[in-house]
Amino acid sequence: MVKKIIKNRRLIKKNLSRNIVAGILTLVLGILTTFTIKQNDSPVVLSSAREGDLVKILDDLNNQSDALESELVKQTRLLETIKNGSSAEVTAAAQVRLDQLLLLAGVTPVSGSGIKIVISGDTYAINAYTLLNIVQELRDAGAVAIQMNKVRIINSTYFTDTENGIKINNTTIRSPFNIFVLGDAATLETALKIPGGVGETIATSGGQITIDKLTTLNIESVVPLESPKYASALVK
């Protein structure tokens, strides 16, 4: 009788774990689908762009669309594996998703290829809004991880103008700003050089921006993993 109860508990715990992971992946699929629709519906003012610039921007958008569709297919397959796969397959799929979440949360160092951006200028050319705008442009272009000076940038990062510089969360940084970004270098560079975009705005305001493509780039800053104050896990 006792063995039967223990076996039933293990089965319930296993099914609960599957349901939790499946729920996470369903949420991811929804976000990806919404993002794809948003990308297709967002108008871009390119009246001043040259023909060559328009071709590059179109190629960039096509690449982003292909990448999103590929990710959507991958996550759909992963969700099916978790729903219908064996215990080993579910464990492997959960580990893949855990690695992705750790990357998004910024709690682990990462390496790969990408770009280094150096921005310099006074407060008229560069302020908290400028840096936030750059981060948003990079994310829209598929940035995997971002580090600004020695601060890891994640979804909860905020920027504030102060008398001593620009504060990122509780860390104050000053010009020049060194931004390291993991992702497709060509796509990221194109996003910052779109006519009328953030790169041109900085230049016309008296600032300077340089972009270097890097085949090897290490992002070592991390966000401390804190224990939740108002929630606790149901499954341990």
76 and 177 together in one domain: no
- How many helices (H) and strands (E) the chain has is answered by 6, 8
- Mean predicted confidence (pLDDT) in 114-125: 92
Q: Is residue 73 domain-resident?
A: yes
Q: Work out the average pLDDT over 69-97.
A: 70
Residue type, 49: A
For residues 89 and 119, membership in a common domain is answered with no
Q: Which of 213, 190, 212 is nearest to 200 (CA)?
A: 190
* CATH (domain of 125): 3.30.70.1880
Q: For 183, list phi and psi in degrees, rounded to 5.
A: 155, -170
Domain count, the chain: 2
Q: Percent of the chain beyond pLDDT 70?
A: 64
Answer whether residue 119 is part of any domain: yes
Q: Is residue 235 over pLDDT 80?
A: no
- pLDDT, tens digit, 9 for 90 and up, residues 125-168: 899 999 999 999 998 888 889 999 999 998 888 899 998 899 99
Residue 68 scores a pLDDT above 50: yes
Range of the domain at 196: 110-219
Q: Is the pTM of this model over 0.75?
A: no
Q: Are residues 127 and 43 in the same domain?
A: no
Least confident among 72-86, 151-165, 188-202, 212-226: 72-86
CA distance 18 to 153: 30
Measured distance CA(130)–CA(201) in Å, rounded: 9
